[in-house]
Amino acid sequence: MKHLLIAFALLSGTIVNAQSEKFTAAMQKQLALLDSAKTTQDFQTVANAFERIGDAEKTQWLPYYYAGLALTRAGWMDKTLDKDANAEKIKALCVKAEAIEKNAEIYTIRNMAATQQMLVDPQSRWMSYGQESGNALQEGLKLDPNNPRLYYLQAMGVFGTPEQFGGGKTKAKPIFEKALELFKAEHPKPLYPHWGQGQTEQMIAQCK
């Protein structure tokens, strides 16, 4: 009986392992594709693949997170992309991810989506989307006050605001430095988000 139980435990362990191995392998494959993606089409393809993984898994927020991340990258890169439609899609992915787990990383995605919408017409959208992106940062920091990506995004916002309005290089630099410090202390779990350190280093160089 005891043996049977052990055998059963081992067997089920193997199945679980097999499943997570399949998940890990699929995620790693898509992460590699995300890193090498260049066109909007590439990003969309990766985002769709991540979403499929998320829909099949049902208990993993990471695939939705990466699907959203892929679409924000398309948003930064593609000037002609319909930012509102793209952001709506990203936010829908965030909702799916948050239904599984609410965390700071998802707020980085929400921040970027709202920022992209704001940048369409900063003058008239500052009040709505500027506030939305700011709120995302605040909410994210509440959940994880040491998330380096949130500081990086905050610094980017300050960097992009004209000096006269309380922004500029000098004000952004200390925040970038704080982000870098946190990046260096970060030990992300496998598959977990770890982007941003390189960008932060580049921005610090630009602030000089």
Partner 1 sequence: MKSIMTGLIGLVLTLQTAGQVRISGRVTDTKKSPLIGASISIKDSYDGATSDTAGRFQFVTAEKGEHTLIVSFTGYKGWEQKITIGTDALNFTIELKEEFNELKAVVITAGTFEASDKKRAATVLNSIDIATTAGSNADITAALKTLPGAQQVGEKEGLFVRGGAGYETKQFIDGTLVNNPFFSSVPDIASRGRFSPFLFKGTVFTAGGYSALYGQALSSALILESIDLPEQSAANVFVSPLTWGGGYQQLAKNKKSSWGLSYGYTNLGIYFNIVKQTPDYFKIPQFHNGDANFRIKTKRGGMIKYYTTFASGDLGLRRADIDSAVLKDAFSLKNYNWYNNLSWRENLGKGWKMNLGAAFSINKDDIQQQIQNGYNKPVTTNTSYIDGKNFTLNHRQDFAALRAVFEKRIGGGNFIRFGSEYWYSSDRSFYNSYTSRLTDNYNAVFGEADIYITNALAAKLGTRFEYSSILGKANVAPRLSLAYKTGKDAQVSAAYGIFYQKPENTEMIYTTKLGYTKATHYILNYQKTSNNRIFRTELFYKKYDDLIKTYPVTSNSGDGYAQGFEFFWRDKKTIKNFDYWVSYSYLDTKRDYQNFPEKLTPNFAAYHTASLVTKRFVTKIKTGFNLTYSYATGRPYYNFQLSNGKYNIADQGRTRDYHSLGFSVNWVPSVGKKNAKAFWVFFASVNNVLGSNQVYNYNYSYNGLIKQAVNPPAKRFYFVGIFLSLGVDRSEDAINNNL
Return residues touching partner 1 (CB under 8 A).
22, 26, 40-41, 44-45, 48-49, 51-53, 55-56, 84-86, 88-89, 120-128, 130-131, 161-167
Nearer to partner 1, 125 or 178 (CB): 125
Nearer to partner 1, 137 or 180 (CB): 137
- Least Å distance between CB 86 and partner 1? 8
- Least Å distance between CB 40 and partner 1? 8
Contacts of the segment 169-177: beta carbons below 8 A, 24+ positions apart: 169/206, 169/207, 170/207, 172/203, 172/207, 173/204, 173/207, 175/151, 176/151, 176/152, 176/200, 176/203, 176/204, 176/207, 177/204
- Least Å distance between CB 148 and partner 1? 23
CA torsion, ordered 110, 112, 114, 115, to nearest 10 deg: 160
Q: Name residue 187's amino acid.
A: H
Q: Which residues contact 88 (CB under 8 A, 6 or more apart)?
A: none
- Least Å distance between CB 7 and partner 1? 26
Let me know how long the chain is. 208
Q: What tokens were used for 144? A: 């994880």
Nearer to partner 1, 11 or 120 (CB): 120
Q: How far apart are CA 132 and CA 50, in angstroms?
A: 25
- Least Å distance between CB 143 and partner 1? 23
- Least Å distance between CB 105 and partner 1? 22
Nearer to partner 1, 103 or 161 (CB): 161
Q: What tokens were used for 190? A: 């496998």
CA distances from residue 193 to 103, 148, 162 in whole angstroms, order as listed: 12, 11, 30
Nearer to partner 1, 2 or 58 (CB): 58
Nearer to partner 1, 23 or 102 (CB): 23
